[in-house]
Structure 1
Amino acid sequence: MNTNQWVDAAAFDDVPQDDVIGLFVNGHDIALYGVGGEVFASDNLCTHGHARLCDGFLEGHEIECPLHQGKFDVRNGRPMCDPVTDAIRTYPVRIEGGRVFLSIK
């Protein structure tokens, strides 16, 4: 049984390219990243310092936490350097009709 629920999160045009925005979707604090014409989504809270990643710096597929400069890969949530060691949760994204949908369990 598929328990995934696709949720309309934002307009595709509202996600800036080469940048990140934060928003709340169904009670989840989410970061949306525009990279190379694609959109990626993750939890918006750093697993190390509990800072909001939407306040960080996006370079390519890496988001840098604004608090301690730890980095995560926005495609899979994997930590890329110290001091972060725990991955952030990422969400499947689909673009349909100019809208960004997230799969949230």
Structure 2
Amino acid sequence: MAEFIDAGRVDELPPGRGTSVTVAGRDVALFNVDGTIYAMEDSCLHQGSSLGMSELQGHVVTCRGHGWRYNVTTGAILHAPDVGVDTYPVKVVEGRILIAFGEQQAAP
């Protein structure tokens, strides 16, 4: 069983927004989609731009660097769904966002 690590407060991430955090030395993008929190690697595969600081619309984040679009639930790039970034399991406990790295899910 993976250890969940505190990544911040859920009330600091309003619905429809993303953010970037560093957790256990890793850069992680967090997204709030209609009250559900998702976590994924915070580096666009194209040129490494922050995904957490990019535009979120529904379940899709568009990289602010050159417009690559990712599904935040799977980490997959929309134009090449068999490629993407790692995603991480998330749970919210007593208002805290917790992420597990031991069970990271490789993009398709």
TM-score over 0.5 for the pair: yes
Query: Is residue 48–residue 85 contact of structure 1 (8 Å, CA) maintained in 2?
Result: no
Equivalent in the alignment of 1:81? 79
Letter in 1 for 2:52: C
Give percent identity, aligned residues only: 27
Letter in 2 for 1:13: D
1:67: how far off? 1.0
1:54: how far off? 2.1
Equivalent in the alignment of 1:96? 93
- SS state at 2:91 partner: strand
Q: Deviations over 1:76-99 (max 9, x none)?
A: 1011026x9730110000011111
Equivalent in the alignment of 2:50? 52
Counterpart-to-counterpart distance in 2, 1:70 and 1:10: 27
Counterpart-to-counterpart distance in 2, 1:12 and 1:53: 18
CA RMSD, Structure 1 to Structure 2 (Å): 1.5
Letter in 2 for 1:101: L
Equivalent in the alignment of 2:60? 62
Letter in 2 for 1:87: G
1:19: how far off? 0.8
Equivalent in the alignment of 2:105? none
Task: Give unmatched runs, 5+ long, in structure 1.
Answer: none
Does residue 22 (structure 1) correspond to residue 20 (structure 2)? The answer is yes
Does residue 31 (structure 1) correspond to residue 29 (structure 2)? The answer is yes
Spell out structure 1 runs of 4+ moving beyond 4 A. none
